[in-house]
Amino acid sequence: MNRISVAGANPHLSTGGWRPGSLGALAAAAALARCAPSRHVVLVHGAFMGGWAWDAVASQLRQAGELVTVVNLPCHDPGTSSMEGATLDAYVDRVGQAVDAEPLPAVLVGHSMGGMVISQYAERSPEKVQRLIYLAAYLPSDGQNLVDLAFSDTGSQILGAAEIDQETGRVSLARDALQPILCGDCTPEEAKVLRDRYHDEPLLPMATPVHLSAERFGAVPKAYVFTEGDQTITPELQHRMADAVTLAGAVTLDTSHTPQLSAPGKLAAALQHLLP
């Protein structure tokens, strides 16, 4: 397994001179290759966000020559407050629509809650998935649900801040908790975008267990992007989940839970490094 660590203002590969964030070099390499993309990168967002959170990363990956689709999960459209129709199966269906929109093998990138979704999709259609990449994401075992995994993470700051309303089927976070918990390294402008586009999260998908098998989900190669400054899914839980599988690659970023907002260049380059 190729494991790298990225930290500080001048991050580098532990084995040499690879620099995360050097998207100009990646784009030049793609142009030099004179070839069409060989894979389809599908980006799946996490809780309390939408596909918008991937905008900067998706743009940089496309500049580097990748074919990218950004998924917006059901009930996560801007301005949507209804939880109706939000189920784990519906989330997986939405990912399936994105995968099937292109003929190339898919690399699924799941952030946070999105890790549950890409795992279940890989169980459903392993032949369509070239690799799973987990970004500070829940990486479940068979029978686990997100709620159980979250409550096992005793160091997480989100546990004391989240309000669960079982009657309306939603989970909410106070606006003033968003930056310190989800994006402590965001600028004030980036944090404002997070607050402005925040919405409550449907509870049902979080409480639904995944069903995974060694023959299907287990056969799909996996990689992980660890986030050392994470207050949402602690590095301890990230490593505990990742240690339960065999990783094809790993990157460690010295960021908060959402590097797609605070460090999109670093993240885009790290994802490029982990692509098959």
| Residue 125 annotated in active site | no
Quote the pLDDT of residue 206: 96
User: Is residue 29 one of the residues assigned to a domain?
Assistant: no
Distance CA 77, CA 70 (A): 12
Give the pLDDT confidence of 14-58 residue by residue, as tens digits: 222 234 545 555 554 444 344 578 899 999 999 999 999 999 999
Structural domain that includes position 246: 2-8+38-274
Judging by DSSP bridges, how do beta strands 170-172 and 201-202 pair with one another?
antiparallel
**Of 74-83, 118-127, 225-234, which gets the smallest average pLDDT?**
74-83
Res. 8: pLDDT tops 50: no
Spot the catalytic one: 112, 156, 256, 262.
112
Distance CA 260, CA 53 (A): 7
What are the Cα distances from residue 205, in Å, to 18, 82, 91, 107, 232?
Answer: 38, 14, 8, 22, 18
User: Is residue 16 one of the residues assigned to a domain?
Assistant: no
- Residue 54 and residue 70 in contact, taking contact as beta carbons nearer than 8 Å: yes
Give the pLDDT confidence of 191-239 residue by residue, as tens digits: 999 999 998 999 999 999 999 999 999 999 999 999 999 999 999 999 9
**Of 75-79, 123-127, 205-209, which gets the smallest average pLDDT?**
75-79
Domain count, the chain: 1
What mean pLDDT is predicted for residues 158-168? 91
Res. 136: pLDDT tops 90: yes
User: Is residue 102 one of the residues assigned to a domain?
Assistant: yes
What are the Cα distances from residue 195, in Å, to 111, 182, 183, 219?
Answer: 18, 11, 11, 39
User: Is residue 194 one of the residues assigned to a domain?
Assistant: yes
Q: What is the CATH number of the domain that holds 267?
A: 3.40.50.1820
- In terms of Cα–Cα distance, which of 72, 29, 30 is closest to 54? 72
What are the Cα distances from residue 172, in Å, to 138, 154, 166, 205, 209?
Answer: 19, 19, 11, 14, 21
Structure tokens at 213: 């098998």
More confident position, 136 or 83: 136
User: Is residue 27 one of the residues assigned to a domain?
Assistant: no
